[in-house]
Amino acid sequence: MASATRGAAASVSSRLRNWQGIPFLRAATHATANVVGWTSIFVFLLDRVGSLASVEGRSMQPTLNPDENRLQRDLLLLDKYSATKRKWRRGDVVTLRTPLDANHVAAKRIIALEDDWVVPDPRSKFVRRNGLRAGQSLRIPKGHCWVEGDAGLHSRDSQEYGPVPLALLTARVAAVVWPPARIGWVESDPMCPRSRTSVVTREAIRSGSSIL
């Protein structure tokens, strides 16, 4: 009986070896491995390096979606490497999960970074909700930033929800890639001319060139 069992096993093993030796199967196995490998690389690149996304609304006008025609949206190239390395600068246009709704991703501009001091718009919801005086300054906590939309009053941003944890930032907006007339880099503007917030940077305070 044992001999018969060993013989059957050897026969099955021989057939498997013969099947695995068929060129078609080897080619199919190799192709599948390549697809899985490239898919893994593609997913990694989308998650950690960059991706494309369309932007809705007018909170970042005129930088993004400058056309009042809401049927035409800017398609953006997102730099996700900056998020993994926390390479943020004042003036960067970024995407973030808003404190109001973690499922909603918005595009805003970084106005201030941790240890900077800001004086929010006295008309803002943040000032009223927190009982701040008009002109009262606020220090940005560690690991946070202050963000705003370029469209001012058309934007829901830090003027409503205050400093944002850096962990909520998902990418830096690198460029507009569609429509063709809009193709170009999205520049970082540290002066933030459309901001409703006065900012004193931590560098200015440390150098003694600015006094709160």
Is 142 an annotated catalytic residue? no
Residue 197 main-chain phi, psi, to 5 deg:
-115, 135
Burial track 79-108 (b if 16+ CB lie within 10 A, e otherwise): bbebbeeeebebbbbbbbbbeeeeeebbbb
Is 207 an annotated catalytic residue? no
User: Helix (H, G, I), strand (E, B), or coil: what is residue 107?
Assistant: strand
CB 146 within 8 A of CB 116: yes
Which burial class, exposed, middle or buried, applies to 156 when counting CB atoms under 10 A from its CB (0-12, 13-18, 19+)?
Answer: middle
Residue 128 main-chain phi, psi, to 5 deg:
-65, -40
Cα separation of 91 and 193, whole Å? 10
* Residue in 80, 82, 108, 124 annotated catalytic: 108
Cα separation of 181 and 191, whole Å? 26
User: Helix (H, G, I), strand (E, B), or coil: what is residue 157?
Assistant: coil
Which burial class, exposed, middle or buried, applies to 146 when counting CB atoms under 10 A from its CB (0-12, 13-18, 19+)?
Answer: buried
Could you give the residue numbers annotated as active site?
59, 108
